[in-house]
Amino acid sequence: MTTRARDEYTHPGVRRKRLAPAYVPYLFLLPALALLVWFRYTPAFSAVYHSFTDWNGSPGANFVGLEQYRALLQDDIFLQSLRNIFIYTLARTVLSTVMALLGAELIYNLRSFRAGAFWRMVFTVPLVIPATVIFLVWQRIYAGRLGLLNEVLEAVGLSGWVQPWIGQTDTALLALIMIGFPLVTGVAFLVLLAALQNLPSSIGEAALLDGCSGLRRVFAIDLPSIRGPLALVVILGVNAGLQEFAPMLIVTGGGGPINATQSPGLYLYQQAITYGKYGYATAIGTVLMLLTLAFSWFILRSRYRGAHDVAV
C-alpha cells in the first residue's frame, strides 16, 4: 500500500519516450547556470584559492600551501566550535522540522479550506520580522534580571529554576537552540505545507477507505509521500545550522561565555572581519563547506533512493 502510493504519486515523472532534441534541457538550465558561474562559482573559487595563502584582505597574498589547514587542526577554539555546531545543528534541525511538520499537518488536516488559508497566512506573516529583532527580543527573554523567562518562572513558583540562561556555559547553547520557539513559521513550514497540499486528494481518500487515519496516516502515507520536500527541509536545516553565526554574534556576545556558543561560522567571521586573517578564514570556510557537503550527502542519498524512478 505505502510503496504503491509512493511510486505512483510522489515520483510519477516517468516518461516513456523523449521527443525533445538533446539540447533543450541545457537551454532551460543556461540562464541560471550563467548567473551562478558569474556571482557564485567565481568568488567561491577565489575564496578556496585564498585558503592556501596568507591573504590579509589587502591586495597581494603569499602561497603557504596547507599551512592554514594545519593551524586549524591545532586550534582548540575551532575544535570546540565544531563540537558546539554539531549539537546545535542536530537539535535545531530536529526541533524545527518536527515543529514545522506539526504546524503543516494541523493545517493539512483541517476540513475547512478557509481556515487552512487563514492559518497559512498567520504562520507566514511572522517571517517578516527581521532576525535582528528576533534576537533582540529573545535576548531579553533570556536576560537574568527582568528577563521574561525568569519572571514567568518566578510567577509560577519555580524560582529555583531561575538562572542566567545565556550567561553560563551549561545553558547558553541550549538557549540559542530554542530561539524563535515554537519555530512553526519559516521555510520548513512553507515547503512542507505546500507539499502536503500538493498531494492528490485521492491519497487521503484511499487511506480513509483502508481505515488508516490520524497519526498512523501521517507516518504511513504523508511522510513517505513528501519525502523529497522533507529531505529538502532537513538539508536546509543542516545547512543553515552548520553555517549559523548571527545568534552567537548578537545574543551571546561573540560566542561566549568562554566559547560555549562559538561556531565555525562566527569564528570565520571573526578571523576575516575582526582580525583581518582572510587566509585562515577561507580555510575555515572551506572546511565548513566540506562538512556541510558530507552531512547533506547522507540526506541526499536517501532522497535519490526514493527518486531513482525519475531517471528512467
One-letter identity of residue 265 = G
What grid cell was written down for 239?
545547512
Assess 300 for contact with other proteins (CB under 8 A): yes
> What is the phi/psi pair of residue 64, to 5°?
-125, 15
Scan residues 239-298 and list those touching other proteins (CB under 8 A). 239, 242-243, 245, 249-259, 265, 268-270, 272-276, 278, 281-282, 285, 288-289, 292-293, 296
Assess 213 for contact with other proteins (CB under 8 A): no
One-letter identity of residue 185 = T
The one among 72, 78, 165, 207 contacting other proteins by CB under 8 A: 165
CA distance 255 to 307: 40
Nearer to other proteins, 16 or 65 (CB): 16
The one among 2, 54, 151, 206 contacting other proteins by CB under 8 A: 151
The one among 166, 207, 221, 234 contacting other proteins by CB under 8 A: 166
Shortest CB 283 distance to other proteins, Å: 10
Shortest CB 129 distance to other proteins, Å: 6
Axis crossing angle, helix 113-124 with helix 76-108, rounded to the nearest 10: 160
Assess 215 for contact with other proteins (CB under 8 A): no
Interaction pattern, residues 178-197, with other proteins; x per rule: CB under 8 A: ---xx-xx-x--xx--xx-x
Shortest CB 104 distance to other proteins, Å: 11
Shortest CB 177 distance to other proteins, Å: 15
CA distance 55 to 277: 7
Scan residues 61-90 and list those touching other proteins (CB under 8 A). none
The one among 111, 156, 160, 209 contacting other proteins by CB under 8 A: 111
